[in-house]
Amino acid sequence: MSEVTTTDLYEVTMALSYLREDMRAPATFSLFVRDLPPGRGFLVAAGLEPALDRLARFRVGDADAEEFATALRRPVADLAPLRGLSFDGEVRAVPEGRIVLAGEPLLEVTAPLPQAQLVETCLLSLLCHQTAVASKAARCVLAAAGRRLVDFSLRRTHGPGAGVQAARLCALVGFAGTSNVAAACRYGIPAAGTMAHSYVECFPSEERAFRAFARTHPGPVTFLVDTYDTGRGVATAARVFADLGLAAGCAVRLDSGDLGALARRARAALDAAGLTDVRIIASGGLDEYGVDRLVREGAPIDAYAVGTKVGTASDAPYLDAAYKLVEYDGRPVMKLSSAKVTTPGPKQVFRGPGLRDVVGLANEEPPEGTEPLLRTVMRGGLRTGPPDTLAAARARFEADLAELPESARSIDGPVPPVPSASTRLSALTAVVRHRLAARTGAGP
């Protein structure tokens, strides 16, 4: 499947018309989230690195033109203006890992109008999904309060590719490992995994299963102890650990039931057996809400494996995001339609202490004590520097998280900070609105 033709049809129809009308002047589009999803006090910018990779290799080939012609039910010769079109524009963007708020551009593209239009769908798809998942995973990090987190989402994500993305995004915000082998190898994330209930069921007894597993994997092992009766499973695991001289680095995993109560009983049994170094891992339908509850009630759980709900961002699986034209051929533009008003001109976000953000124009000076968030990451269709690293993105996330107000960090009922508009942006918005109202008869 071609990356170029994985797009909405109207991108093709508009780009083709622009080319035929010789509308090739520079256009700036801004990609932003209008409103945060319910239950979110912040978002974590993510998806930029894959998006830059996609833009760098974007080129409409002969086969792509033929597919466009098929979709439009037109002769392939009609699509000739699109052949060979590639992306040679500029991208300014918020680096991955930075915390962003509603109304702040994640990314701005400036390129000849047909190019800037044709890349819209892929940019929205890449940034929106990954920002949603990274933001969900970040809330799990807050809920875990320093305890280890492992990504178990692959088998429930919306396709293998989404699973690899989820593993990377979880690592970006501080997860300690992933069960996803491909992601572990591709991104240098520690691989983590135990056994399934089916493994235990294949043996005549839990003890036989645990001993066989330990023979195959002589290093630290984790036994899944709730296939039958959790209390007996913990006791069996403790006996095998003791007989084989295993403890440091080893663990038992609880995957169902009242995890808090079961963890307390498991901890007591392991301690009584002298296995104070054996850790307890919990899994099974967890996300930030479940982890937060267990942490608050003091459950003696050392690590949490989270999967389905995080890899799919289950409670907020999409973002109210837009990719809107803000300037064409040097002329600032804006949209006036009800509930979807935009602001004109290329933007910059100026961040002050405590995430007191100001959204202003790209060419204005930063207010005192602030730093600009958007950086030029692509120029002439080429990256301006080497690819970013997960370690750098994680460091940015941790720094921003430390500045995030407590009200926005809350797991239940967070209150997100609201950025303000600069004086210059407000003035330009008023001028463009007045001009458009005079020209179109649109009201304020």
pLDDT tens digits for range 116-146? 999 999 999 999 999 999 999 999 999 999 9
- Domain's final residue, options 293, 311, 329: 311
Mean pLDDT, the chain, integer: 95
- State the residue for tokens 């107000």: 405
Mean pLDDT, rounded, for 79-88: 96
DSSP string, 360-429: EETTSPPPTT-EE--EEEEETTEESSSPP-HHHHHHHHHHHHHHS-HHHH-SSS-----PEEPHHHHHHH
**Rounded CA separation 333/321 (Å):** 18
Neighbouring CB atoms inside 10 A of 137's CB total 29
32-36, 68-72, 336-340: segment of lowest average pLDDT = 336-340
Query: Does pLDDT of 444 surpass 60?
Result: no
Query: Are residues 275 and 347 both part of a single domain?
Result: no
Domain assignment of residue 155, yes or no: no
Q: Give yes or no for residue 393 having a pLDDT over 90.
A: yes
Confidence of residue 38 (pLDDT cuts 50, 70, 90): very high
Confidence of residue 335 (pLDDT cuts 50, 70, 90): confident
The answer on 331 and 433 residing in a single domain is yes
- Contact present, 288 and 139 (Cβ < 8 Å): yes
Range of the domain at 273: 193-311
State the average pLDDT over residues 330-342. 83
- Whether 297 and 344 share a structural domain: no
Residue after which a domain boundary falls, among 287, 311, 335: 311
359: closest CA among 90, 53, 105? 105
Whole-angstrom distance, CA of residue 166 vs CA of residue 113: 32
Taking the C-alpha atoms of 88, 91, 95 and 100 in order, what is their torsion angle to the nearest 10 degrees? -150
pLDDT at 218: 83
Q: For the packed helices 230-244 and 206-216, what is the interaxial angle rounded to 10 degrees?
A: 40
| Domain annotation covers residue 178 | no
Look at residue 339 in the predicted model and tell me its pLDDT: 67
The pLDDT assigned to 340 comes to 72
Query: Do 326 and 421 fall within a single domain?
Result: yes
Cβ 425 vs Cβ 345: under 8 Å: yes
Judge whether 369 and 383 are in contact, CB under 8 Å: no
Both 15 and 125 in one domain: the answer is yes
Q: How far apart are CA 262 and CA 408, in angstroms?
A: 32
Distance CA 110, CA 345 (A): 11
Is 18 within the bounds of a domain?
yes
In a domain, 79, yes or no: yes
Tell me: do 272 and 326 sit in the same domain. no
Q: Tell me if 291 is assigned to some domain.
A: yes
pLDDT in tens, 178-208: 999 999 999 999 999 889 999 999 999 999 9
Mean pLDDT of 379-388: 97
Average pLDDT over residues 237-242: 97
What is d(CA 61, CA 80) in angstroms, rounded to the nearest whole number?
10
Q: Specify whether the CB–CB gap between 96 and 388 falls below 8 A.
A: yes
Q: Which CATH number does the domain housing residue 108 bear?
A: 3.20.140.10
The pair of three-digit structure tokens given for residue 279, joined into one six-digit string: 């850790």
CA 122 from chain centre, in angstroms, equals 15
pLDDT band at 238 (very low <50, low <70, confident <90, very high): very high
Tally of residues, the chain: 444
Report the Cα 421 to chain-centroid distance in Å.
26
Task: Quickly state the pLDDT bin for 350 (edges 50, 70, 90).
Answer: very high
Q: How many domains does the chain have?
A: 2
pLDDT for residue 85? 96
Task: Copy the structure tokens of residue 92.
Answer: 């300014």
Q: What is the pTM of this model?
A: 0.95
* Residue 315 burial by Cβ neighbours in a 10 Å radius (0-12, 13-18, 19+): middle
Amino acid 441: pLDDT: 65
Q: Residue 153 pLDDT more than 80? A: yes
Summarize the confidence of residues 329-354 as an average pLDDT: 89
Residue 146 lies in a domain: no
What confidence tens digit (pLDDT) does each residue in 168-185 have?
999 999 999 999 999 999
Domain assignment present for 53:
yes
pLDDT for the residue numbered 151:
97
Residues 300 and 321 reside in one and the same domain:
no
Confidence (pLDDT) at 338? 65
The per-residue DSSP string of 143-186 comes to: HHTT-EEEE--GGGSSSHHHHHHHHHHHHHTT--EES-HHHHHH
CATH number at residue 207: 3.20.20.70
Shared-domain flag, residues 336 and 436: yes
Which residue, 311, 335, 355, sits at the end of a domain? 311
Write the pLDDT tens digit of every residue in 358-372: 999 999 999 999 999
Judge if 307 and 321 occupy the same domain.
no
In angstroms, rounded to a whole number, what is the distance separating the alpha carbons of residues 230 and 265?
Answer: 9
Nearest to 345 by CA among 366, 359, 327: 327
For residues 393 and 351, state if they share a domain: yes
Let me know if residue 143 belongs to a domain: no
Sheet with 420-421: list strands edge to edge. Answer: 371-372, 347-352, 356-361, 420-421
Same domain flag for 388 and 332: yes
443 pLDDT tier (thresholds 50, 70, 90)? low
Q: Distance between CA 33 and CA 323 in Å, rounded?
A: 9
Are residues 239 and 129 located together in one domain of the fold?
no
Q: pLDDT tens digits for 87-103?
A: 999 999 999 999 999 99
